[in-house]
Structure 1
């Protein structure tokens, strides 16, 4: 029998008979589970009645609950939206979780910008931009981006380059309409953006009709070069549409979703049907599904998936029923701005389509399981090889690698990356902006990084206490470099009380491993899985350091001309660029036009006008 804390007992008695969201926390305050309910009182109390009859997962959850928290909402739909946000924020252990969408890229078109471009981003926000995705394969988003840039002439340069008004290579080869030079106005550019949106929304027929009309108008007005370009654009779009599989003789817009499950892992697959054709598909993995019904897993998938996407069609076909279907449909109605029907077809062509999607989900899941087993076998073998070759006492489950990056001593940075169980653990990556070293001195920079990593050991020598802080000591340290870098690192580690941690330098090119006090390098066979693991680790540390170095360098160099104008701060700068798009076009504006920009006053507008025209000369 599970004994509830007095706090939980008291809160169970206070639960209102209202819709809302509840959070269950453990003794350390961590969120274990987030749920929604039409009646908080009725739903939450069911967890604590006849616990021995509950599913094993629920029993395990209840045993760890030390506190309850609830939030009352005005409706079940509001509860659903809040539940989505809290699951995404906390990623509770006992919830079904769609794989962290921070790893999935989106295509973004910032409609607030006068001349938007298409960019790839790792997160979607409610900022007035349109987001398409998430794409579960980085290759898929890159292929789509490449295709869009080939078919549609939009700018690809950064806002900083656009501000400067310099003509780019893409403009010379007719792949950019050169808004920086005023060769295209905002209205015409918005027309191209509209065509990109039609393409991404799967509205191929609408797009072709629009392009045909523009081509005919260009030909009738004797703009033959423009008509020829539009003809080529039409052919490119037709080639893409011809490769899409027809699954319906009607012209429906549908999403077709199915979930396949094996143990605690499930795969949700979605096919996007637009105008009766499959225009794309994506799959996602869900964890924490053990002990749940098909309906519960499907509900979690539908809820979390559609919380992440912008485009919702009028019909969603599923291979399993969902809980609270009316609430889900009402939520989707608000998201889409129109009616959405969730259906589970039992016969006919729609049922066959759902079954096809289910088979694809099953194939993805089996492929993932096979790849994971193969990877685990290779990883275990690699760790065992390293243990033997490096003379370690135990398997190096946690390995840390360090690297330094700079160019001629400027913007020097250090990186720390962590592999646990042979796999990257990005949440434990750390980056260091070097504070005490000037000039190209990698040895001193490495000393600073290691000192900042291990210095607290002098104050807190107990390893257990260090581990309680959530950042345990490594079983193995790899330094990117040869004897010099290794000796610099080891000197600091000994001073900090970390000298007992096995540490090796991995030199590039010949891939030699250096150990403190050993004049001869250790050479692992080229085909060794252990060496390959160390190479991946070293390369990841290098990538992470170089990325940070470039960020700092770009930040230093990325100063706009506008930053030199007194009275022009970040808000006014954004407003000016929204209005004009670039400094070149700003220079062509009259003083009165500058004064009309949001947030500008006459004095600042006059300063800007004088500055721009003095710079011109």
Structure 2
């Protein structure tokens, strides 16, 4: 029997981000059974659940136990690799390959306390006056970095005692990989200045170094010293490679928790990233209830007090996206819980810590998307939301088919009405439709008339589908079904005015008793119903409110997308029709022939233009001249 991916896992797979990161597979007990890294999470995780995985018995055993998948988005693959290693050490998953020895991460050490500092590799950080840069994912990454750096900064690697009076330098001097302070080719100050620039590059402060070398390169080139200019050019390329590929960390390794918040209407998710000894060891997202009427500062403050009230692991520093009230009091409270040292709350505006905030915020957004996708795929929740909506609006039946309409325009041009269809709480995009509004004969927009036209055309198609049905072709879908089936709820984006228009149209088609209608006003998210003087106010945390908001937002999105396409077409049409001899028919033929692209028409040859039906040689030449 072939493997069937569980529905909840299929939902996760469809909504994973195509970004680098780490994924965690869990069994029915919530225990992590596998941790992996990926350049693109979506493609990598999906590969475990395809037919290509049939050849691996380990994968077959593992995926049969997977009941949930978590993930952490990272900035790069290197970060994903480091995070994966840290989390494997921490959780020791059943299906991961485990290293027997617990190796430390490699660093670059610069012995700045020496007169002539050396550049070395190490896996231990000591308080010896040296400067440390890293960590790196593997020793080969360190060696690659040093190999590139040495081309720009030819530092010492030998064990000589540097006096400047040696008779001969080593081979590295001859091949340009050492500037030979041993023979006095450079003095102590010049050598240390070079090492200081090397440390600036590793610290991400390469601007001044690049500026100096660039000016020197131009000067050498102007003096016709092209060989020296080429050497300086190679140094610039090496520095550029390092600044793009690697980031430095402070040698003072501290413990941080990074907190970020993502919000969408009445939904809120807090993301917390745990950094210990300078390494990202894990991340967690926490959805929050009743956060819709609270400020970001209040939400984060409440989260901190609740989360750390139950936690015994208090970091040295909390990194937050914004200031919070009572920050100093919370610092004292956390310091008392930590015992060993003071806890500090910081709000970085730039630098590495700000990048960590951005990374946490990105993870919070992805976590919210995943929670929404899982909610939408949960049929029990959908049924509950529809039942609550029926009761709140006093509908005669469960609104399994909900149609929603919205209008989009820009100052009365390219007016488009959208219809989206939700069936059992899930969008059915095959039944989405748009209406290009044609009956507005005055300047400016007219939402009421636009809505009247859209609804009239929709229910006229209902009448046509019932009275004059078109039999579907064999093996083809019934194209009239979407018009023939009446909605269990007609939802209008707007207020009392739009509701009155909908009532008028339904009455004209004698459908008032058959099609319930409601209008959702954005200001207070209130629902207006016929015959009810006061609007229906669903609870802010109601799943029914979340459902109608999502339907309304989807109609708005679809309307805006359709409106933009219509505006683009009108723009192309107006440009073409300024050319003599180009009317509606030739314009349509040209756009069809060249993929609706003015640039493609502009780039076409005379012969290609003449190949379009109705375009003569003269018109083709006019097009080339005027476009």
TM-score range, shorter chain: 0.3 to 0.5
Higher relative contact order (CA 8 A, sep 6+): 1
TM-score normalised by the chain length of structure 1: 0.38
